[in-house]
Amino acid sequence: MFYVYILKSETSGRYYIGYSEDPDRRLAEHNSGKVKSTRNFRPWVKIYTEAFPDEVSAIRREREIKSMKSRKYIESLLQKHF
**What pLDDT digit, counting tens, does each position of 19-42 carry?**
999 999 999 999 999 999 999 999
Ramachandran assignment for 34, one of left (phi > 0), alpha (psi -120 to 50 degrees), beta (any other): alpha
E strand or H helix that includes residue 21: none
Query: CATH assignment of 2-81?
Result: 3.40.1440.10
Domain locations along the chain? 2-81
E strand or H helix that includes residue 71: helix 71-81
Reported as a pLDDT band with limits 50, 70 and 90, residue 69 is confident
Is the sign of the CA dihedral 45, 40, 71, 54 positive or negative?
A: negative
Confidence (pLDDT) at 82: 63
The average confidence (pLDDT) of the chain is: 95
- pLDDT (average), residues 31-59: 96
Question: What letter does residue 40 receive in the DSSP assignment?
Answer: G
